[in-house]
A and B are shown apart, each in its own frame.
Chain A
Amino acid sequence: MPGIVDVSQLVKTYGDGTKAVKGITFTVNEGEFFGFLGPNGAGKSTTIKILTTLLQKTSGSASVAGLNVESDAAKIRKIIGVQNQDTVVDEDLTGRENLVLQGQLQQMHGPAIKERVDELLKIVDLTDAADKRAGFYSGGMKKRLDLATTLVHNPKILFLDEPTTGLDPQSRAAIWAYLKRLNEQGITIFITTQYLEEVDRLCRRLAIVDLGEIVAQGTPGDLKQEIGADSISLGFENSSMNGGDVRTKARQVLEKKFDGVSNIVDSDIGLTVYAKNGSYMVPELVRAFDDAHIRLSSIGVSSPTLDDVFLKHTGKRIRVEEVSSANSRGMFGRRRR
């Protein structure tokens, strides 16, 4: 069965020669919450623009709900909701007017628009500010309004390009909770984001792109499992003891007695050890160090996270811009339009 989003050998080379997407292939199934991750410049937004009919591909094929992104663009636009990476609301219009206009452009009619707009205002918690100009909204309110405008026409598929970047933690949590509910109602969600914890919790499947190519895809669980090892972090009581560095001595112990260890790295407090089924090793580790007169101050085991997955496949840690100035542009920071 073909997916609701089907991309095959998709290539995009921009006019200036930049190869933004270099032949990617992936499928999103109907009803899925799909994460599309990658470092800066990986080609995420470029891919979204092609899927949402805003940009022409160079080669390959892409379809949304079985419709070709080029020949059936008009039909696709009726069933998708698109949120840009940059927040886009008309700051001279009120929140309500923004939503109504969106409904009109989606070819909806008066009474249906009104009803839907009231409902959405409530959902994104903007009822009180509905008749204020969006230019006076805080960054978080604008983002929520922007999200609401993508939903006016009850789209089947949502394409969201970093919908929570720059938001404070509460707004972020609220939006993710709302996306979860939408997904439960059957809407397919295609999302790019830097928030891996949320991806881990909510996305059923994800793909990681780097430099225009897909470097990994699968369920969060599978991808983490692929890493293969838990990390055990060991803290030592005194880092230098007679007869050499405690780290060196501990390494010797580990290398001699533990076959399951795949990697050992120095850490601030001692060592980090990678091994399969890390928690089962803990009792033996404690005993072995005791015998060798190495005194542990702490020991902790953690299973791999998507951060580790991301690092493994892209060689980079995902950037997380901390809550930016998005909220500080209040009454006085209104941009001229």
Chain B
Amino acid sequence: MSFFSDAFHLFVRSMKKLVRNPILVFFSLFQPIIFLLLFTQLFSNLGRFISGGTLTYTAFATAGIVLQNAFSSAFQSGTAVVDDIKSGFLAKMLATPVNRSAILFGRLLSDVFRVVAQTVIILVLAFALGVYPATGIIGYLLVIFTVAFFGLAWSGISLALGLKTKSAETVFGIAGAVTFPLLFMSTALVSLGFMPGWMQNVSNFNPISFAVNAIRNPITGCNLDLTVCNIGFDWGTILQAFGVIAGIGIVTLGATLYLFRKVVS
């Protein structure tokens, strides 16, 4: 089937490009790692307020940092597509019998692979800092799965923006503008109870909060409001997050597919 082989070859191309431009990986990993090493130290006293002292702040924040990383790396996806459009490489591919959908699928595959690889790096670093997975290896696999799923949906925003505007600057600009507001008004770096009332309301509707909560539970083993911390998997929280991510994914990837068809035809 040419769909799978084409997607695979284009996936390999993307990975080669990524490895040969390590600066891109560096940029998207830099911030999460600084957060993991410094931010968590700066706010280490927060741990006491957040969970009544059962969790260190580092253990709490790891989920948020994992998500932050997925957020920023997925947001680079659209710029790669813009590059291919601008350089004429997309047109060059389109003049061959390559499977059209495979071009998009190969792209998404490499985005997911990249998010997963970066997540593993962060989890290993966190482990070195004393964050042990409360739900064991299964829990971490679940974390990685959730992050991959989130990364896929989030790539969709970036890809759609790139395909619509055909401008890498716009994609970067929008990514930069929304990253911190979305991250800070979510449960990524502080617990819900720690926020002022109005922000709690925002956070409750913020998709980032849903995804973070679903990642945090397997790492910490705590319930949603962090009052009990040996409950194992909190499937209610996890499945709710899957629902939210799927909703986002359908919209963003749907838009991407639609815009891609328009560019390709």
Contact = CB atoms under 8 A, between A and B. Distances in A.
Interface string B190-221: 00000000000000000000000000000000
A152 to B, nearest CB: 9
B9 A88 contact: no
A52 interface: yes
A16 to B, nearest CB: 15
Contact of A88 (B5, B89, B96): B89
A117 interface: no
Contacts of B2: 107
Contact of B91 (A80, A84, A90): A84
A90 B17 contact: yes
A80 B92 CA distance: 12
Interface stretch (A98-106, A222-230, A268-276, A289-297): A98-106
A101 B9 contact: yes
B130 interface: no
B97 interface: yes
A88 B95 contact: no
Contacts of A52: 95
Contacts of B17: 90, 92-93, 337
Nearest to B95: A82
A314 interface: no
Contact of B96 (A77, A86, A133, A336): A77
B153 to A, nearest CB: 26
Contact of A78 (B21, B91, B97, B265): B97
A133 to B, nearest CB: 7
Interface in A34-59: 52-54, 56
B129 interface: no
A320 interface: no
Contacts of A105: 6, 9, 93, 96-98
A133 B6 CA distance: 22
A90 B13 CA distance: 9
B94 interface: yes
Nearest to B91: A54
Nearest to A106: B96
A105 B95 CA distance: 10
Contacts of B89: 88, 90
Given A101-B9, A105-B9, A53 B97 contact: no
Contacts of A133: 20
A105 B92 CA distance: 10
B234 interface: no
A161 to B, nearest CB: 11
A107 B93 CA distance: 12
A84 B96 contact: no
B95 A77 contact: yes
B84 to A, nearest CB: 9
Interface in A93-130: 93, 97, 101-102, 104-107
Interface string B1-26: 01001100100010011001100000
A241 interface: no
B16 A97 contact: yes
Given A88-B87, A101-B13, A337-B21, A107 B97 contact: yes
A82 B5 contact: no
Interface in B72-100: 83, 87-89, 91-98
Given A92-B16, A107-B2, A102 B87 contact: no
A317 to B, nearest CB: 29
A74 interface: yes
Given A101-B13, A107-B2, A77 B97 contact: yes
B80 to A, nearest CB: 9
Contacts of B20: 92, 133
Central interface residue in B6, B88, B91, B95, by most chain A CB within 10 Å: B95
A98 to B, nearest CB: 10
A77 B264 CA distance: 14
Given A104-B5, A105-B96, A337 B265 contact: no
A93 B17 CA distance: 7
B87 A337 contact: yes
A55 B240 CA distance: 44
A84 B96 CA distance: 13
Given A77-B97, A92-B17, A86 B88 contact: yes
Nearest to B17: A92
Nearest to A335: B87
B179 to A, nearest CB: 22
B92 A82 contact: yes
Interface string A278-295: 000000000000000000
13 contacts: A53-B95, A54-B95, A77-B96, A84-B88, A88-B88, A88-B91, A101-B13, A102-B96, A104-B5, A105-B97, A106-B96, A149-B92, A337-B17
Interface of B: 2, 5-6, 9, 13, 16-17, 20-21, 83, 87-89, 91-98, 265
Given A54-B94, A82-B92, A107-B2, 17 more contacts: A53-B94, A56-B265, A77-B95, A78-B97, A80-B95, A84-B88, A84-B92, A88-B87, A88-B91, A88-B92, A93-B13, A93-B17, A102-B96, A104-B6, A105-B98, A337-B17, A337-B83
